[in-house]
Structure 1
Amino acid sequence: MRCQPQSSHQVYIWLKNKQTCLLCDEMTDAAVPICTDCEADLPWLRDQCERCALPLPMSGLTCGQCLRQSPTFNDVVVPWRYDFPIDTLVTRFKHQGKWPMGRLLAELLGQLLQNRFADGLQRPDCLLPVPLARKRLRQRGYNQSEMLGRWLTAQLGIPMDDHLLLRVLETLAQQGLDAKARQRNLRKAFALAEGAQVAGRHFALIDDVLTTGATANALAGILKKAGARRVDIYCLARTPKPSD
């Protein structure tokens, strides 16, 4: 299996046999290139807000922001806090083209989702990657959310539609902006493709990191307004509050 979707050139072969851990370079017998010790040491997100998955000191709580204004999306599935080494892996995948890093994280997210589905989490009808602005797509050469979605589709058997959501306005990069600035930045930034079939369907938005939730809220709002029955968020990592 090639680690890069829709490519005829192989830069990394994903084999189901002994591999080298991408974190410590030790050999591993796991089906993915990470050893048992390194996987256990990842910053797994345990106690979190029941609505937006914000890291909290105890489980079963709802954060203050969600109590003040409930998010537009329904559920968030996220394996890790945005902390070392996940932050480094995501950055190398997202900004440096280190696709094996993203492939590894997608595989582990897929395993978590399979467990959650077995425990009763509703399976979505369709996966929707967060669209990337055209200028940024030209600069980077790929949309990391779309790549994650394709890997998850192959693993979970859930179809993906990478044309249903459109980024219609170029906006400032979200990094470095506070929550209010992110919301202002995203006003009218997204739209549905002409003729998009949304009513009554359950979607899951795919992204790499959930920070303030502004992008997720904006996209979920568009989908819900068009009649979507449910919108969940699947992402790799969740950042803590800035003060933390």
Structure 2
Amino acid sequence: MNGPQRMDRPQVYAPSPARAEGAVVRTAEGAVVRTAEGGAVRTAGGAPAHRPIHAPARPAGIPSADIPLAGRAIGAIGAIGAIGAIGALARRAGRMCRTLLPSACALCGRVQAEVVCAACVAEHFAPEPRCPLCALRSPQGRRCLPCRADPPPIDAALTLGDYAPPLDALVLALKRGVALPHARWFAEALADRLADPHAGTPPARPAASYRPWPDLLIPIPLARERLATRGFNQAWEIARPLGRRLGIPSDATVLARRGDAAMQHLLNLNDRLANVQGAFVVTRRAAIEGRHIGIVDDVMTTGATLREAAYVLKAHGAVRITVLCALRTP
């Protein structure tokens, strides 16, 4: 008994409206053909081709095996371009907001676009000679007597001005009033000062390891209790925009504080030095080994905290330490 006879269905092809005339496709049989008018796929003989499979034309100079990789590369380039465009748009929007919604100068109250007006910057933040190791005022930018007698593990120190009226109000508003725009302004001012060769002091210890800008920015960490109470680390709020402005990475996790020490501002110099001994720990040696590290803080008072942080970082492989502090106690 003969089995049921199989009847071949006629092959029917429904053209895709999205397929343009002349598009290159590959049939199930492997033949590469081009679409005719209306998007229908035709073989060389003019007959309809069955079950077409799209085969994009290979770009010139790229082997067929590399087409997926090239596509991913082109997509990545497009994504990077989109991110750059978004960043430029965000910066433009920020400038527009400062123009349309001006603020009062934090020092004199004059209504203008920035946290500190240009007149107050010229009056209170003019560069002046300072010790290259501790940022105290020093004639002709030479090392001060304490730094000559007991050189710190700091290779260079940079500050914007003295922590004294009226400038101290900027830091107090940042820490106690959560005036976070002050942190951004400090970061921009530090970046400008670091980039201006006439604004700072010459390198303290020129050596083969000397590099003008740090490779990595690290904020002085807060004690856990203080961080929980304040809700943010003002040094980190300065370090982040500073790194973005300079194109330098920043990391708030490389240096950690061990335990909760007593508040430094309540202690004298000797007690401060004893209070911070062993206060810091490096969490990832590989992140700092062989690198120039920039330590960021809001105020450098006696320098005890920054000295200890620099000592620990160098003990774990840092080759150079630059301190970047917004203000310096005279």
1:86 and 2:167 aligned: yes
1:108 and 2:189 aligned: yes
Comparing 18-27 with 82-91, greater Cα deviation is found at: 18-27
Structure 2 counterpart of 1:20, one-letter code: S
Residue pair 1:167, 1:191 contacting (<8 A) in 2 also = yes
Comparing 19-28 with 181-190, greater Cα deviation is found at: 19-28
1:207 and 1:225 map into 2 onto residues whose CA distance is: 20
1:35 and 1:195 map into 2 onto residues whose CA distance is: 41
What residue number does 1:53 align with?
Answer: 135
Residue pair 1:43, 1:83 contacting (<8 A) in 2 also = no
List per-residue Cα deviations over 1:100-124 (Å, max 9, x = no partner).
Answer: 2222222212211222499996111
1:98 and 2:179 aligned: yes
Aligned residues: 225
Alignment of 1:1-244 (within 5 A): 14-15=94-95, 17-18=98-99, 19-23=102-106, 24-28=108-112, 32-44=114-126, 46-56=128-138, 58-116=139-197, 122-194=212-284, 196-240=286-330
Superposed CA RMSD in Å reads 2.3
After TM superposition, the score normalised by the length of structure 2 is: 0.63
1:141 and 1:116 map into 2 onto residues whose CA distance is: 36
1:215 and 1:78 map into 2 onto residues whose CA distance is: 16
What residue number does 2:81 align with?
Answer: none
Residue pair 1:130, 1:205 contacting (<8 A) in 2 also = yes
Structure 2 counterpart of 1:169, one-letter code: G
* Over 6 Å off, 4+ runs: 117-121
Structure 2 counterpart of 1:51, one-letter code: L
Comparing 121-130 with 15-24, greater Cα deviation is found at: 15-24
Residue pair 1:168, 1:191 contacting (<8 A) in 2 also = yes
- How much has 1:22 moved relative to structure 2? 2.2
Q: Point out where structure 2 has 5 or more consecutive residues left out of the alignment.
A: 1-92, 203-210
Q: Percent identity?
A: 34
Q: Which has the larger radius of gyration?
A: 2
